[in-house]
Structure 1
């Protein structure tokens, strides 16, 4: 189980008792909002990196697979026409 997520949820619930205290009343903003409120900006930067790095890694992999499949389809189509 993701104990880190549970701890962030409980800390966010204690720090922001009302959902209207969050940006756009969005519960999914607890992690970043809590980090921005509590952490030094230097450490908050590391927190942002920890969130964005897996997103960028997944996007990079998806683009690589998509472009490889596209190019392979073009080469396969050209080989069949010869």
Structure 2
């Protein structure tokens, strides 16, 4: 599972703004998860900075990030499956 999260983080870091927005929207994240993902990858904040900004604990930020990564990975994994199936 850690490899999945690592791959998702890498994709988020290298995606374009339009791709990033499309995937985040499609993943149906909660408003807080969406805000945390944006603060993490667009504003480049650390987890403790995000926690201070949105007035929550670092543990909550980390939990929401893990849930968001999993949701985004499911979307990205499905997209990769679709691409592989279309090549056949």
TM-score, normalised via structure 2 length: 0.38
- Higher RCO structure, 1 or 2 (CA under 8 Å, sep 6+): 2
